[in-house]
């Protein structure tokens, strides 16, 4: 697998803007962990086992706030619940019956917003039998790069200004936003995203802490049922 051309192509895809965007945010996270009093081993394990930046921030902040193990578990579960539909969505696309099941289960660890979105941007151009190796190359490199950047952020946090670190946190979300907008070519995506954005504003006064979540679930569910037949026909 690691010697296949499709795996190498996946790595090449990850090198550059995807790795830079995600890595910069992970670098800032590593610096945050250092300033918060976590040790380098904890910082390494955080990204090694989690690989989901919002959930990692929530985990660290819950621990700092004195939360119990149950508090941490529930907070991270709610934050990273978004990865479940991504996994359900992308698994049939990259599935390869010639690959052992345990390898396919393990590859789910590489599913994050950046790897998921970049895979979807190119999967139609890749042969079905090559998609699994390609995704492992893409997601695996982004994961390894994130682990290294977290440790680097921890080690070099003292030589980077606070303002730069804050800016680095937002590089990956901005990259994801730009990628999303650039791929809005289908009416079902445009309608769902616009509906979610408008609903989140309208619901903000009623549910200030939940408006984005409620709007996203409502708009996404409505979009699914409205365009269900169109998606099936594709």
Residues 129 and 152 in one domain: yes
In this prediction, what percent of the chain has a pLDDT beyond 70?
Answer: 90
Instruction: Name residues whose C-beta falls within 8 Å of residue 205's C-beta, 6 or more positions apart in sequence.
Output: none
Count of domains forming the chain: 2
Residues 122 and 222 in one domain: no
Written as six digits, the tokens of 6 are 């499709």
**Packing angle between helix 162-169 and helix 17-36, nearest 10 degrees?**
130
Average pLDDT of every residue of the chain: 86
What is the band of 227 on the pLDDT scale with cuts at 50, 70, 90? confident
What residue spans of the chain are helical by DSSP H? 5-14, 17-36, 40-49, 53-64, 69-80, 83-94, 101-107, 113-122, 128-155, 162-169, 171-182, 187-203, 211-226, 228-233
Residue 32 belongs to what domain range? 5-183
Backbone angles phi, psi at 120, to 5 degrees: -65, -25
Residues 21 and 93 in one domain: yes
Residues 152 and 175 in one domain: yes
Looking at residue 182, its pLDDT comes to: 62
Rounded CA separation 201/196 (Å):
9
Residues 175 and 212 in one domain: no
What does pTM read for this prediction? 0.80
Residues 75 and 30 in one domain: yes
Residues 192 and 170 in one domain: no
Rounded CA separation 20/145 (Å):
9
Residues 70 and 13 in one domain: yes
Residues 162 and 172 in one domain: yes
What is the band of 220 on the pLDDT scale with cuts at 50, 70, 90? confident
Choosing from 142, 164, 183, the residue where a domain stops is 183
């Amino acid at each position: 697998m690691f010697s296949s051309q499709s795996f190498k192509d996946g790595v090449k895809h990850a090198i550059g803007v995807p790795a830079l965007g995600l890595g910069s945010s992970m670098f800032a996270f590593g610096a945050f962990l250092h300033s918060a009093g976590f040790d380098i081993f904890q910082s390494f394990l955080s990204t090694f086992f989690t690989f989901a930046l919002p959930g990692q921030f929530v985990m660290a902040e819950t621990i700092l706030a004195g939360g119990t193990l149950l508090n941490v578990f529930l907070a991270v579960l709610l934050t990273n619940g978004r990865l479940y539909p991504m996994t359900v969505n992308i698994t049939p696309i990259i599935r390869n019956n010639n690959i052992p099941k345990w390898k396919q289960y393990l590859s789910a660890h590489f599913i994050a917003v950046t790897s998921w979105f970049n895979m979807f941007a190119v999967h139609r151009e890749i042969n079905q039998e090559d998609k699994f190796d390609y995704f492992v190359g893409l997601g695996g490199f982004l994961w390894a790069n994130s682990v290294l950047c977290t440790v680097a952020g921890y080690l070099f946090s003292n030589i980077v200004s606070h303002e730069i670190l804050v800016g680095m946190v937002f590089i990956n979300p901005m990259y994801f936003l730009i990628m999303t907008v650039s791929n809005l070519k289908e009416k079902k995506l445009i309608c769902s995203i616009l509906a979610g954005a408008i609903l989140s504003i309208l619901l903000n006064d009623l549910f200030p802490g939940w408006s984005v979540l409620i709007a996203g679930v409502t708009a996404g569910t409505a979009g699914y049922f409205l365009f269900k037949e169109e998606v099936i026909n594709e």
